[in-house]
Amino acid sequence: MTFEQRQHNAIAEWKALDEKPCIYVGAATCGRASGALKLIESVNKELKKNRLAANMIEVGCIGLCYAEPLIDIAGADGVRVSYRNVTTEMIPQLINEHLINNNPVAALALGVVGSSKISGIPNLFDLPVLKPQERIALRNCGYIDPENINHYIASDGYRGLKRALKMSPDEVIEEVKISGLRGRGGAGFPTAVKWQFCRKAPGDEKYLICNADEGDPGAFMDRALLESDPHSVLEGMLIGAYAIGTTMGYIYIRSEYPLAITRLKIALGAMEDYGLLGDNILGSDFNFHIKVKIGAGAFVCGEETAMLFSIEGKRSVPRSRPPFPASSGLWGKPTNINNVETWANVSAIFDKSGEWYAGYGTEKSKGTKIFALAGKINNTGLIEVPMGITLGEIIYDIGGGIPDDKEFKAIQTGGPSGGCLPKAALDLPVDYEQLAAAGSIMGSGGMIVADTDTCMVDIARYFLTFTQNESCGKCVLCREGTMQMLEILTDITQGKGNSSDIERLLELAEAVKIGSLCALGGTAPNPVLTTIKYFRPEYETHINEKKCPARVCKALISFYVSPDKCKGCMACLKACPVGVIKGKSKMIHIINQEGCIRCGVCLDVCPPKFKAIAKVTGSLP
Amino acid sequence: MREAIKQFTKSRENLIPILQEIQKAEKYLPPEAIYEVSRFLNLSENEIYSIATFYAQFRFARPGEHIIKICLGTACHVRGGINILESIERKLNVQAGGTTKDGKFSLERVACVGCCALAPVVIVDEDVHSKMTMKKVETFLGPLLTGSKKKVKMKKINDF
């Protein structure tokens, strides 16, 4: 069968979905964690009960994690409505109303997918959370069945590869150059330049790697892409392999992502069946094979030289560069490494054009970037926005602001290698250069929002605990320096800090930066440096007054029952895990501070109408 | 165990995949397995241990029947993941990294499972429990504890 025939069949299969009502269940990891699989059972039961003929497909993640689990229902008229925070109890109503009575349930709906209008339900892409977004890498996520290659092909999939194969490898690289694409893994190195190096490197045996070792805590775009649209990534790899001139590729994926691994393997199997992988791809003389390598839990493997050692079956300890992997990588052969999101952009660029892609973004940072919004923000999830959008637009327009109307305090970008930016940075346009100038980095695109209940010293300590733990131990300053910094930070959060600590931290931070071979150590001090830069008074309060203004650091806070508010309801007394709350029914309770472990359960369980428990720092009132 | 090894060629590149297969079957890497792999790949046991101990995924002692992983990624951290961890530690009377005396539960901390929007999360075997609260700990631990010798005992209330 030719590819055109397959394309034809795929489009027919996709269109046939409209002939029957169809239910789309968002079943990526986050959807599943919110109960998507139970919804599938429940939908099936309900369809059977009502003897309805309908299709049900599992789709990936559209990125609106706050609204999970999501299901879309398309009735006989083909109009697809997305429903949010669906529970099994809602299923009978949704099936009944939407599918039988043809009456979409506005009260439970999030939006209408596509351009049809339904009164009372907004169009999905008119929602504030989606309107500013430009979905290029995430183009199919949440729409198609990631386990069905036909869905991808019907959505213009593999057209880019066809186009690329008609070009010469140099023309392909030129097209990437025109697009202005830079590596989405963190460092932002121009993709075309990287490819060119590897293409020009002498030798016939070359390798290509997809870095799916998404280790940054707080970043989950690569997982979502692989779970929701694996072919977009794989098509990008094929185009890259053709341009560079390699026949062997690896996908290095972390073991914490079992669903992504499963879907990748299904996708690879389908590609082989369709002649998109192996020898003579699409009838050309281009050959390419892909192996999946599963990581074993080492953050440092995200560093490219460390990853190479891991694939070779060794300890993943970074080495000095040069030689860069482009000239001497896997088993000493020229190797090109790009991350998942970069590859997904490549396939989009070749489906449209480099020029089209360069139409998005800023002068030096072209295109779009996926960010993972989490922490103290209303609309948690994945977003894809054009470069140059401001942090304020991301947090307030797309993210919907801070829960409980609390005040914004800081945004942490770029994971453990990044930094915390204060309120003044809300007007900062997001691109590689601007973030770097502010002391943070783009990194893989994690964004954690902090409100006034977040302690910046604790955040710095948290990240340092992470990097200290993940340091491979090769460079003395990374291994020992981060340890010393962590000890100082721990002392500060425990009220044992002294006045010279801040200076010592700054001095150590510089030393760790200079004395580390790889980016893990080179950037590990960033969270400490930026929190000192922007939130120095908070450090000083910890050190001088032994107080934690955000009331987070356990050694510096106490829980206290306000005698005038306590009604003696016994809720806290029963919940206290260490039994240090004393009192009787209808008698004011007292917390024995000696034995209190400051877990905060009492505060959680105290009925909101009483609000009798206070969390205080410093001396008790 | 031999079965797990057989599907691989005798190439150094396969060392980590082989160890992963063994751990999948045995839940940890028993010393006999390391010995067999060393013969198979012609590497010293020392060399294999140097690699296996480098990676966080590998265990060298048999874990409990249920593995509870507490995510302490950034989002989970700012949303109070540490309180959830401590609460489970107290309930099961075991520290993170350890296994309960009855061999029923192992408690592990993980860096990030990529469900940040649902923070804080706890993974029990394969099930992800999202938006955990101290109250919810009770509800998911309860069913797992029934059948175990120890049940969650309500702490004695101290009166005046």
Residue B139 has pLDDT above 90, yes or no: no
What pLDDT sits at residue A577? 86
Q: Which residues of B touch A412 (CB under 8 A)?
A: 74
- Residue A278 shares a structural domain with residue A259: yes
Nearest to B77 by CA among A163, A520, A458: A458
The structural domain count of chain B equals 2
CATH code, domain with A513: 1.20.1440.230
- Residue A62 shares a structural domain with residue A104: yes
Question: What DSSP designation does A541 have?
Answer: I
- Residue A254 shares a structural domain with residue A304: yes
Residue range A599-615: average pLDDT?
Answer: 93
For residue B76, is it within any domain?
A: yes
Q: Which residues of A touch B19 (CB under 8 A)?
A: 296
Peptide bond into A322 cis (omega under 30): yes
Both tokens of residue A590? 């007292």
For residue A327, is it within any domain?
A: yes
For residue B29, is it within any domain?
A: yes
What pLDDT sits at residue A91? 96
Domain of residue A67 covers: 13-126
- Residue A285 shares a structural domain with residue A198: yes
For residue B58, is it within any domain?
A: no
- Residue A285 shares a structural domain with residue A426: no
- Residue A196 shares a structural domain with residue A277: yes
- Residue A213 shares a structural domain with residue A324: yes
What pLDDT sits at residue A78? 83
Task: Please name the residue of chain B whose CA is at the shortest distance from the CA of residue A554.
Answer: B83
For residue B80, is it within any domain?
A: yes
- Residue B98 shares a structural domain with residue B45: no
Distance CA A583, CA A591 (A): 9
Does B60 reach chain A within 8 Å, measured CB to CB?
Answer: no
For residue A212, is it within any domain?
A: yes
What pLDDT sits at residue B2? 72
Q: Are strands A207-212 and A335-339 parallel, antiparallel or unpaired?
A: parallel
Residue B150 has pLDDT above 60, yes or no: no
A contact residues 145-184, partner B, Cβ 8 Å cutoff: none
For residue A119, is it within any domain?
A: yes
What b/e string do you get for A259-273 counting C-beta neighbours within 10 Å, with b at 16 or more?
bbbebbeebbebbee
Residue range A167-176: average pLDDT?
Answer: 98
pLDDT > 70 fraction of chain A, expressed in percent and rounded: 100
For residue B156, is it within any domain?
A: no
For residue A149, is it within any domain?
A: no
Three-state DSSP state, A253:
strand
Task: Give the end of a domain, one of A300, A323, A357.
Answer: A357
- Residue B39 shares a structural domain with residue B86: no
- Residue B48 shares a structural domain with residue B74: no
Residue A222 has pLDDT above 90, yes or no: yes
- Residue B42 shares a structural domain with residue B73: no
CATH code, domain with A430: 3.10.20.600
More confident call, A76 vs A165: A165
Instruction: Say if residue A485 is exposed, middle or buried (CB neighbours under 10 Å; 0-12, 13-18, 19+).
Output: buried
More confident call, A249 vs B136: A249
- Residue B99 shares a structural domain with residue B45: no
Does A215 reach chain B within 8 Å, measured CB to CB?
Answer: yes
Written as one letter, the residue type at A520 is: L
The structural domain count of chain A equals 5
Does B73 reach chain A within 8 Å, measured CB to CB?
Answer: yes
Nearest to A234 by CA among A198, A271, A192: A271
- Residue A523 shares a structural domain with residue A591: no
Model confidence over A476-529: pLDDT tens digits? Answer: 999 999 999 999 999 999 999 999 999 999 999 999 999 999 999 999 999 999
Does A445 reach chain B within 8 Å, measured CB to CB?
Answer: no
Strands (E), A75-134: 80-83, 109-113
Q: Which residues of A touch B87 (CB under 8 A)?
A: 577, 599, 601
Nearest to B56 among A298, A463, A604 (CB): A298
CATH code, domain with B72: 3.40.30.10
What pLDDT sits at residue B1? 64
Task: Give the end of a domain, one of A426, A451, A476.
Answer: A451
What pLDDT sits at residue B134? 80
Both tokens of residue A242? 């053709």
What pLDDT sits at residue B159? 32
For residue B100, is it within any domain?
A: yes
- Residue A31 shares a structural domain with residue A119: yes
Do A472 and B54 lie within an 8 Å CB cutoff? yes
More confident call, A547 vs B126: A547
- Residue A437 shares a structural domain with residue A471: no
Give the angle A293-B27-A265 at the CA atoms, nearest 5°: 30
For residue B35, is it within any domain?
A: yes
pLDDT > 90 fraction of chain B, expressed in percent and rounded: 58
Average pLDDT over chain A reads 95
Q: Which residues of A touch B140 (CB under 8 A)?
A: none
Bridge-partner residues for A384, per DSSP? Answer: A370
- Residue B75 shares a structural domain with residue B109: yes
Q: Which residues are CB-neighbours of B132 under 8 A, at least 6 positions away? A: B81, B84, B120, B121, B122
- Residue B71 shares a structural domain with residue B133: yes
Nearest to A70 by CA among A92, A56, A87, A55: A87
Q: What is the gyration radius of the CA atoms in chain A, in angstroms?
A: 27
- Residue A200 shares a structural domain with residue A332: yes
Cα–Cα distances (Å) from A347 to A315, A353, A471, in that order, read: 33, 10, 34
Model confidence over A283-305: pLDDT tens digits? Answer: 999 999 999 999 998 999 999 99
Residue range A114-133: average pLDDT?
Answer: 94
Residue B155: band (very low, low, confident or very high) from pLDDT cuts 50, 70, 90? very low
Task: Give the end of a domain, one of A522, A545, A568.
Answer: A545
Tokens 């369709």 belong to which residue? A274
Residue range A293-319: average pLDDT?
Answer: 94
Q: What is the gyration radius of the CA atoms in chain B, in angstroms?
A: 19
Residue B116 annotated in ligand binding: yes
Average pLDDT over chain B reads 86
Bridge-partner residues for B146, per DSSP? Answer: B148
Output the CA torsion sign for A604, A609, A614, A615. positive
For residue A138, is it within any domain?
A: no
What pLDDT sits at residue A256? 87
Distance CA A311, CA A208 (A): 12
Model confidence over A347-388: pLDDT tens digits? Answer: 999 999 999 999 999 999 999 999 999 889 999 999 999 999
Stretch among A114-118, A611-615, B108-112 having the lowest mean pLDDT: B108-112
Both tokens of residue A518? 């790889």
What pLDDT sits at residue B147? 54
On whether the CB atoms of residues A491 and A502 are closer than 8 A, the answer is no
Instruction: Say if residue B136 is exposed, middle or buried (CB neighbours under 10 Å; 0-12, 13-18, 19+).
Output: middle
Residue A182: band (very low, low, confident or very high) from pLDDT cuts 50, 70, 90? very high
Kindly report the nearest CA distance between residue A235 and chain B, in angstroms: 24
- Residue B21 shares a structural domain with residue B86: no
Residue B71 annotated in ligand binding: yes
Q: Report the residue count for chain A.
A: 621
For residue B152, is it within any domain?
A: no
First vs last C-alpha separation in chain A? 80
- Residue A315 shares a structural domain with residue A339: yes
Bridge-partner residues for B68, per DSSP? Answer: B107, B124
Model confidence over A427-441: pLDDT tens digits? Answer: 999 999 999 999 899
Chain-centroid distance, C-alpha A355: 27
- Residue B34 shares a structural domain with residue B75: no
Reported as type and span, the H/E element at residue A40 is helix A36-49
Neighbours of A44 (CB within 10 A): 14
CATH code, domain with A186: 3.40.50.11540
Residue B148 has pLDDT above 60, yes or no: no
Domain of residue B95 covers: 66-145
Written as one letter, the residue type at A524 is: A
Do B112 and A217 lie within an 8 Å CB cutoff? yes
On whether the CB atoms of residues A432 and A403 are closer than 8 A, the answer is no
For residue A144, is it within any domain?
A: no
- Residue B77 shares a structural domain with residue B135: yes
Residue range B2-30: average pLDDT?
Answer: 92
Neighbours of A406 (CB within 10 A): 13
- Residue B73 shares a structural domain with residue B37: no
Q: Are strands A381-386 and B105-110 parallel, antiparallel or unpaired?
A: unpaired
Do B114 and A574 lie within an 8 Å CB cutoff? no
Residue B158 has pLDDT above 50, yes or no: no
Q: Which residues of B touch A66 (CB under 8 A)?
A: 117
Nearest to A416 by CA among A311, A306, A303, A318: A303
For residue A3, is it within any domain?
A: no
Nearest to A147 by CA among A279, A260, A38: A260
Nearest to A432 by CA among A482, A496, A362: A362
- Which backbone phi and psi does B105 adopt, to 5 degrees? -130, 140
Distance CA A360, CA A517 (A): 35
What pLDDT sits at residue A372? 94
| Dihedral, CA of residue B116, residue B117, residue B118 and residue B122, to nearest 10 | 0
- Residue B100 shares a structural domain with residue B124: yes
For residue A230, is it within any domain?
A: yes
